Structure 1
Amino acid sequence: MKSTTVQSLTETFKLEVLAGASCMDREITRSKVHRPGLEFVGYFDFFPTKRVQVLGCKEINYLLTLSVEERKLHIGNIVKYHPPCFIVTTGQQEIPYLTLFCEEEGIPLLRTQETTTEIIAKIDTYLVKALAPELSIHGVCVNVSGIGVLLRGKSGIGKSETAHTLIRRGHRFVADDIVVLKKLGPATLLGTHNETTREFLALRSIGLINVVRQYGRRAFQDETRIVLDIELSPWRENSLNNELELEPKFTDYLGVQIPHIEIQLQPGRDVAGLIEAAANNWYLKQLGYSAVEEFMQRIENKQ
């Protein structure tokens, strides 16, 4: 099971550490945060103990209405489950009792100036990505007119050169050589780099180039949703036909089915242009348009 740490969460969102500074290496293994409202009133049947616990104004104000003894009881009942950490929102100050409990139990107590709604949305998004199942594959990832494309093929087939052509046409580069795929949902696959190769593109006969330095910030993006899997392969005589519509094919990555297209290479073929056409065609299909259906309709209308 993938995990991240409280330290990483704290650094990402610049959270203030109020207690438990020596326990920042505690693991986070669940992707959704939790507000322990019901637990403060004694209902623990469905308490998600492995989630980050967020304390907003409602939770803190409720605790302040309790007597000292009641407050100790309610907080103690939650702290004993040792969740990864507690985050107090909106910069709330009247929480010395929480600091004491968390320090004693070795649970990080963190604080943010952001509102409860804002920080929950941000942390949930961060944890979904950080804890997502992932797979590293050999290939190139580009964003063509807002559409994430994975380019695959044997080493030396021309993936990086094709990506370079697409960059010069105004599209965006994501990753070269090693593409990290993350499954964010049943039908959502994210493509990104592995940090080490970030912004770098390797071109045979030229060497390593920094895409951002050469073509500007707009030529690069950190990640993109993958919706097309395009395989570049050597030309094979008499293997391509001018069919009106090809039978759909798919590639499975982490249980997500991605439409697959094979493009055979031959001198003179505008491979980058074909990739642009494939991306635009996919987009039109999402809008419900089919060129084949329109073509057949025209033929029927003439009969």
Structure 2
Amino acid sequence: MNLEMKKVTVGTLVEKFSLKVLAGQDQLGQMITQPRVHRPGLEFVGHFDFFPTERVQILGRKEINYLHKLTKEERKVRIGNIVHYHPPCFIVTAGDQGLTYLTQHCIEEKIPLLVTKKVETTSEFITKLDAFLVKKLAPEIAIHGVCMNVFGVGILLRGHSGVGKSEMAHTLIGRGHRLVADDIVVLKKLSPQTLLGTHDDNTAQFLALRSIGLLNVVRMYGQKAYQEETRIALDIKLTKWQKDALNNELEQEAHYSEYMGVKVPSIEIQLQPGRDVPGLIEAAANNWYLRQQGYSAAEEFMSRIEAETEE
């Protein structure tokens, strides 16, 4: 379970967003290490105290119009001050007209200059690019288990090898839920509170069942049986049955698992022949959702009891 930090090249952005390369064709291998982009504004007027030099720099219509209005000498100074810091690349969202001066600066400093081809606002492009970089550059680990989406709730199924995690996933698929990953689950930390579960590229869509073999769930059950990723909301550990280990308390004590500093609510479900474990997993997913809405069945039950005793 080793933490891995990702990197993205400028060439990755060119391919992903169909960007036109105006300068720096030989520098497309430049690495991007920061998940958020920057739109320079104060930097054009000489304020560099908080300039995030390692971020992708976005130039929209406002920035390009400002540069166009400057004299040749002023423009040279303003742009020169920024390219001096060698950001990984510039992306222009206002078309490629009149960018000769900017192109020349980027050629001289060996900085890729890219232009969007699609018609969209700068804010729309930034939103898409930020989301892409956050996922791509998120710290990640790989764990042994199964990841499912049950009623829209992302669930990790963990347990010792052979306990029946994949078989449980197959049953849940038959009940209309979706497989995300089997055997190897890749967890990405998108924020201090957000954990994304996905697959590694090799195991995507595959489910391994003992006595049966490898299944492609999309080929067998259609696209509805699979999804690429899900936000992890519950960590469920499947364990062997232990007599007298379960209790019937109205409200279970809260337990959490922690991955890369992100806490995830955790419960344990014991396995026994005849026990409807898939149904319990569905109940756990629905109960988690209700809790997010501020509802607790135990609290409602106790309030009824208190109301009755006061009468």
TM-score normalised by L of structure 2: 0.95
1:224 paired residue among 227, 230, 234 = 230
Which amino acid counterpart does residue 224 of structure 2 have in structure 1? R
Structure 2 CA distance for aligned equivalents of residues 294 and 302 of structure 1: 12
Shift of 1:223: 0.7
Superposition map of 1:1-303 within 5 A: 1-112=5-116, 113=118, 114-303=120-309
- Secondary structure at the aligned position of 2:142 is classed as strand
Q: Tell me the C-alpha RMSD between the 2 structures.
A: 1.1
How far, CA to CA, are the matches of 1:214 and 1:251 in structure 2? 33
Inter-partner Cα distance in structure 2 for 1:38 and 1:191: 38
Which of 40-49 and 1-10 deviates more? 1-10
Residues in 2 aligned to 1:90 and 1:265: alpha-carbon distance in whole angstroms:
60
TM-score calculated relative to the size of structure 1: 0.97
Partner of 2:268: helix, strand, or coil? Answer: strand
Q: CA deviation at 1:295?
A: 1.5
State the alpha-carbon separation in 2 of the partners of residues 80 and 163 from structure 1. Answer: 54
1:239 shift after superposition: 0.8
> How far 1:301 sits from its partner (Å)?
2.9
CA shift for structure 1 position 218:
1.5
Deviation at 1:299, TM superposition (A): 2.1
Aligned equivalents of 1:241, 1:39: Cα separation in 2: 62
Amino acid at match of 1:117: S
Look up the equivalent residue of 2:207 and give its one-letter code.
Answer: L
For residue 300 of structure 1, report the CA deviation from its aligned partner: 2.4
Q: CA deviation at 1:90?
A: 3.3
Q: Which amino acid aligns with 2:42?
A: L
Q: Which sections of structure 1, spanning at least 5 residues, go unmatched?
A: none
Give the Cα–Cα distance (whole angstroms) in 1 for the partners of residues 151 and 45 of structure 2. 52
Q: Secondary structure at the match of 1:282?
A: helix
Which one-letter code corresponds to 2:43 in the other structure? E
Q: Secondary structure at the match of 2:215?
A: strand
Aligned partner letter, 1:41 = V
Aligned residue-pair number? 303
| Secondary structure of the structure 1 residue equivalent to 2:201 | coil
Please list the CA deviations of residues 129-155 of structure 1 after superposition, one character each: whole Å capped at 9, or x if unmatched: 111111110000000001000000011
Greater shift in the superposed pair: 248-257 or 100-109: 100-109
The amino acid that maps onto 1:132 is A
